[in-house]
């Protein structure tokens, strides 16, 4: 952590889906180290889903709603930088997203997602 930025490691278990949020004052930059998944983000009328895999770099602009998920058999691991430094838990505000948060797995007997 410096006066200008903070850095952290994000890790999601396989099939884990985060709760959707937006940030009040920070921008984030993510670099995917390993695993695979998807990032959904929306700012004003622009909405997109981005595939995440090792080597992918993405940004989360201030005020953009976002949500991400781990889709592979390995955890999704990413290096995250916030600009300015992370101020605390009140920074992340609940938002509407595109997936149901939690852990999603296919039922081995029926093949249906549960």
pLDDT above 70 (res 111): no
Q: If DSSP codes are grouped into helix, strand and coil, which group holds residue 91? A: helix
Contacts of 102 (CB under 8 A, 6+ apart): 16, 17
Domains defined for the chain, CATH in brackets: 6-99 (2.60.120.10)
Q: Given this model, what pLDDT does residue 114 score?
A: 47
pLDDT above 90 (res 109): no
pLDDT above 90 (res 48): yes
**Distance, CA of 53 to CA of 66 (rounded, Å):** 17
Contacts of 24 (CB under 8 A, 6+ apart): 62, 63, 90, 91, 93
> Which tens digit of pLDDT belongs to each residue from 70-89?
998 999 999 999 999 999 99
């Amino acid at each position: 952590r410096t006066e200008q930025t903070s850095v952290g490691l994000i890790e999601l278990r396989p099939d884990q889906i985060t709760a959707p949020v937006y940030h009040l004052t920070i921008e984030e930059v993510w670099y995917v180290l390993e695993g695979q998944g998807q990032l959904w983000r929306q700012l004003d009328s622009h909405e997109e889903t981005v595939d995440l895999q090792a080597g992918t770099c993405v940004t989360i602009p201030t005020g953009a709603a976002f949500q991400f998920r781990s889709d592979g058999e390995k955890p999704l691991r990413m290096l995250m930088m916030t600009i300015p430094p992370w101020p605390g838990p009140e920074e992340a505000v609940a938002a509407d997203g595109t997936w149901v948060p939690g852990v999603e797995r296919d039922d081995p007997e029926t093949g249906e997602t549960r």
